[in-house]
């Protein structure tokens, strides 16, 4: 009996470890385009342009997440601490910014404000830093990725969505809405 119980415990333990490992793998996997689209498209952001980064000591400023350009994405990350305030801005677009140097080539002696670019497939990301070192921008560039499904609610929590046009109600139903002045009214 003891041997059977021990075997059962080992099997259960191995099964639990494998199940947790599988869950952890899914939790870290990039969100699907459909999952991202549910959050990004109402804000006017193309799902394929939604990217984030991870930088030690920096937190996403959710109110900064918005559309950039036609359908790109912008997000800012902020660091508060003993080293002062630092901001890191991420902008993802379809088009490369020829004025931004590749992040891998950004030197510690680069002029401020710091600015560099990284390309991931068809997505061009520009990173800008204020109150940060070049090493922070290089690390941020290496960490640029598609968010996980678990991150989407937080990422888009403060995003303003594009709504329908405003109905005025004071315009006539026909014509262009300009006032109709009788002939000679202008003097």
- What are 35-47's pLDDT values in tens digits? 999 999 999 999 9
pLDDT digits (tens, 9 = 90+) for 135-150: 999 999 999 999 999 9
Q: Which single residue is written with the structure tokens 């036609």?
A: 70
Q: Is the pLDDT of residue 82 over 60?
A: yes
The total of structural domains in the chain comes to: 1
CA Rg value for the chain = 25
Q: Do 77 and 57 form a contact (C-beta atoms < 8 A)?
A: no
| pLDDT confidence band for 172 (50 / 70 / 90) | low
Residue 20 domain-assigned? Answer: no
Residue 11 domain-assigned? Answer: no
Residue 161 domain-assigned? Answer: no
Residue 91 domain-assigned? Answer: yes
- d(C-alpha 50, C-alpha 38), whole Å: 12
Which of 123, 174, 173, 167 has the alpha carbon at shortest distance from 144? 123
pLDDT score at 3: 46
Residue 93 domain-assigned? Answer: yes
**Full residue range of the structural domain in which residue 55 is found:** 33-155
pLDDT digits (tens, 9 = 90+) for 68-81: 999 999 999 999 88
- d(C-alpha 91, C-alpha 51), whole Å: 9
Q: State the pTM of this model.
A: 0.72
Q: How confident is the prediction for the chain on average, in pLDDT?
A: 82
Residue 160 domain-assigned? Answer: no
């Amino acid at each position: 009996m003891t041997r059977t119980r021990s075997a059962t415990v080992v099997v259960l333990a191995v099964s639990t470890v494998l199940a947790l490992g599988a869950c952890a793998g899914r939790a870290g996997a990039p969100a699907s385009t459909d999952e991202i689209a549910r959050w990004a498209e109402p804000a006017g952001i193309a799902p394929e342009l939604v990217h984030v980064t991870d930088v030690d000591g920096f937190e996403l400023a959710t109110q900064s997440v918005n559309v950039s350009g036609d359908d790109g994405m912008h997000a800012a990350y902020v660091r508060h601490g003993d080293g002062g305030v630092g901001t890191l801005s991420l902008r993802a677009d379809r088009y490369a910014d020829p004025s931004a140097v590749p992040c891998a080539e950004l030197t510690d002696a680069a002029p401020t404000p710091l600015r560099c670019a990284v390309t991931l497939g068809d997505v061009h990301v520009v990173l800008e830093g204020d109150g940060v070192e070049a090493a922070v921008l290089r690390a941020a560039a290496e960490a640029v990725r598609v968010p996980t499904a678990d991150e989407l609610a937080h990422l888009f929590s403060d995003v303003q969505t594009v709504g329908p046009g405003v109905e005025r109600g004071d315009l006539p139903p026909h014509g262009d809405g300009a006032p109709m002045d009788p002939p000679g009214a202008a003097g």
